[in-house]
Amino acid sequence: MKGLIVKDLFNLKKYSKSVMLILAFYMLYAVMMDSSMFMAGMIIMLTTMMSITSFSYDDLAKWDKYALSFPITRKEMVLSKYLLALLLSIVGVIIAFAASLLISKIKTPVDMNELLVVSYVLLIVALVFISILLPLIYKFGVEKSRVLIIAVFAVPAAIFFVLTNAGFQMPTESQLMILLQFSPIILLVILFISFYVSVNIYKSKDL
């Protein structure tokens, strides 16, 4: 299974160079605006989306059919994609954190704790996003899922909008802190359910 992740990293090598370029652009933007929030979000989104791109590459080469003729189970195929997404998201968070730190050093200083919390929240968001999107990709294929990405973003935003308009109280800071404390467990449960669903979809597929 390690071979599968090695394969994805090889494939993404060229693509990551163009991602670096976009990244540099966002850093420049962050320096000019003296705010790294937007940049951090974009970096993590870019690296997280790279795992989606790896699905497109596989489709193009009709890779799955070939890979499954090797001593690789379908479960391992799915697991390799989750691990890749996890790896890329973490790399994204590290880059975003380092870049934010760098910018805060040359521009307005930012509280270190705040930076850590923001990075952590971004990682959680990225992994929840992956947990929703991967089963959709296994079900509908990566091309159709590109449209669904918009929905994955739009639906929570819409719910949030409706709730606040309906006069719902925003959670207090202490409530949010409790949520943050429980978030690793919640995240693990979400990832596990997502993985389980993906494996079952993929197992029943004829290739």
Partner 1 sequence: MMDLNLEIENLSKRYNSFTLKNISFNVPKGCIMGLIGENGAGKTTTIKLILNLIKRDSGNIKIFGLDNIENEKEIKQQIGVVLDESYFHDNLKPLSISKIMQNIFENWDDQLFDNYLSKFSLPKNKTIKEYSKGMKAKLSIATALAHKPKLLILDEATSGLDPVIRSEILDVFLDFIQDDEHSVLISSHITSDLEKISDYITFINDGSIIFSESKDNLIYNYGLLKCKINEFDNIDKKDIIRYKKNDFNYDILVKNKQEMKIKYKNYIIDSINLEDIMLLYIKGTVK
Nearer to partner 1 by Cβ, of 15 and 120: the residue is 15
Near partner 1 in 10-49, by CB under 8 A: 10-11, 14
66 binds partner 1 (CB under 8 A): yes
Q: Which of 61, 155, 159, 186 binds partner 1 (CB under 8 A)?
A: 61
57 binds partner 1 (CB under 8 A): yes
Q: How far is the CB of 98 from partner 1 (least distance, A)?
A: 28
187 binds partner 1 (CB under 8 A): no
Contact region with partner 1 (CB under 8 A), list: 6-14, 23-31, 124-132, 137-145: 6-14
Near partner 1 in 73-112, by CB under 8 A: 73
Q: How far is the CB of 149 from partner 1 (least distance, A)?
A: 23
161 binds partner 1 (CB under 8 A): no
Three state DSSP letters for the chain = CHHHHHHHHHHHHHHHHHHHHHHHHHHHHHHHHCCCHHHHHHHHHHHHHHHHHHHHHHHHCCHHHHHCCCCCCHHHHHHHHHHHHHHHHHHHHHHHHHHHHHHHHHCCCCCHHHHHHHHHHHHHHHHHHHHHHHHHHHHHCHHHHHHHHHHHHHHHHHHHHHHHHCCCCCCCHHHHHHHHHHHHHHHHHHHHHHHHHHHHHHHCCCC
71 binds partner 1 (CB under 8 A): yes
